[in-house]
Structure formats: C-alpha cells, structure tokens
C-alpha cells in the first residue's frame, strides 16, 4: 500500500509539473495561450551572458546578478497573465513593450515586483509613472498580474483587482516614435517584448503560468 501511494503521489506531482502552464478550456476559448511550457526556455532569450534564470517545478526562477528574460515576439495590443512570487528583500519586475537591450536594462514599461525591498515603489507600480507604496501581497506569496495593453492605455490588475488604467499622455497629438526608442520618447502604443527581471544577487523571483491573449492592432 505504501509503495502504491508513493507511486500515485509521484504521478500526481509529475502531472502538476507538466500541466501547470496550461490555460483552462474557458481561457483557451477566449483566445489565451501559454507562452511558457514549464520545462524549457523555448521562445525566450536572456539579454546578458550571466545565467540569471533556471526552471524548477514548472517555474522560472531568477538568481544571481542582473539579467532579463525576453519573450521573443514583438507585441502591440495584448493581455498578459502571470503568477509571480518574490522573496523577502527581493526586487524584480515584469516589463511590457520592452525594446531589446543587449546587456542592459530594458527600455519599456516595468510593472514592479517588490513586497519588502527598500525601494519604496512596490508591486503594482508602473515604474516611475504610477507609484504604489504598499504591496498588495506578502513576501514569498504568489500573486497574479493581469496586464492589458491596448492602444495608448495600460491597465494593471493584481489578483483580479483593478489598480489603475494608465492613459499615455505622450500619445495626444503625436504618433508613436519612429526609429530608436528611448526612455524619453517611449509610448504605450509601441511594439515591444515582454521581459522578466532578475534584479540583483539578493533577489529570487519566481514566475509561472504565463498566459498571453493577443488583441486586434
């Protein structure tokens, strides 16, 4: 009996690990797809030579020095759902509309991941644009980001609670930037990559269940 129970437990754990990144049938019918298979970095690319990320139990886990992991498809209008966890004193972020930056910080829009690190901008913050000073979750506690980029707006939800809808003021009477995109001329409406941040050696972020829904351009 003990051997059978152990076998069933092992099979259950294996199934959970393999299928953790699969959206529900309802989500699939609504256009959602998984962009992380829970086992490999297929479709993703790191922008620095340091390792920075590993996969364990269906999760992408950051470690060591600074690095960013890009989902290598440029996107314009989309919804992103991602489960995130950060350690005590850790700092991380989920970037959208990022421009590839070989060996440096992404140029895009960062949704902060921080529950207790000294940076006062906590989870939910649209970095240096909309500042949230109290994290909506605790250390080592999973939460779900739901980020909607559509036209010149970005809506941020945490655990199904809408925190804000940001309307890009730089869009008024102007076109999205052409040529090189910088932090000074970036626009919500630009195309760019999703990227995950490994901030520093004291940070250990975890990411799982990464779902994407493309919206009409």
Q: Other CB atoms closer than 10 Å to residue 133's CB: what's the count?
A: 9
Q: Quick: pLDDT tens for 5-57.
A: 444 344 443 344 444 578 999 999 999 999 999 999 999 999 998 889 999 99
Q: Other CB atoms closer than 10 Å to residue 77's CB: what's the count?
A: 16
Closest CA to 159 of 67, 71, 85: 85
Q: Quick: pLDDT tens for 116-139.
A: 999 999 999 999 999 999 999 999
| Residue-range domain boundaries for the chain | 2-214
* pLDDT score of 139: 98
What CATH code would you report for 2-214?
Answer: 2.60.120.560
Q: Quick: pLDDT tens for 161-209.
A: 999 999 999 887 777 777 889 999 999 999 999 999 999 999 999 999 9
Task: Round to whole Å and give the CA distance between 21 and 39.
Answer: 9
Residue 104 has pLDDT above 90, yes or no: no
Overall average pLDDT of the 92-96 stretch: 98
* pLDDT score of 15: 40
Task: Round to whole Å and give the CA distance between 130 and 167.
Answer: 11
Task: Round to whole Å and give the CA distance between 115 and 137.
Answer: 7
CB-based burial label for 68 (10 Å; 0-12, 13-18, 19+):
buried
């Amino acid at each position: 009996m003990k051997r059978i129970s152990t076998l069933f437990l092992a099979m259950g754990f294996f199934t959970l690990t393999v299928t953790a990144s699969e959206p529900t049938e309802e989500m699939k019918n609504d256009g959602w797809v998984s962009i992380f298979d829970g086992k490999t970095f297929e479709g993703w690319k790191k922008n620095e030579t340091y390792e920075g990320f590993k996969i364990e139990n269906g999760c992408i886990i950051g470690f060591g020095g600074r690095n960013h992991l890009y989902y290598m498809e440029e996107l314009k209008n989309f919804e992103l759902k991602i489960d995130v966890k950060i350690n005590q004193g850790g700092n991380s972020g989920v970037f959208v509309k990022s421009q590839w930056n070989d060996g440096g910080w992404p140029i895009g829009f960062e949704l902060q991941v921080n529950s207790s690190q000294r940076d006062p901008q906590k989870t939910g913050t649209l970095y240096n644009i909309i500042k949230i000073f109290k994290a909506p979750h605790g250390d080592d506690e999973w939460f779900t980001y739901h980020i909607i980029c559509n036209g010149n707006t970005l809506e941020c939800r945490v655990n199904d609670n809408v925190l804000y809808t940001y309307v890009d003021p730089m869009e008024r009477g102007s076109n999205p930037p052409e040529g090189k995109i910088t932090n000074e001329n970036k626009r919500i409406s630009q195309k760019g990559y999703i990227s995950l941040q490994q901030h520093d050696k004291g940070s250990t972020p975890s990411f799982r269940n990464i779902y994407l829904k493309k919206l009409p351009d």
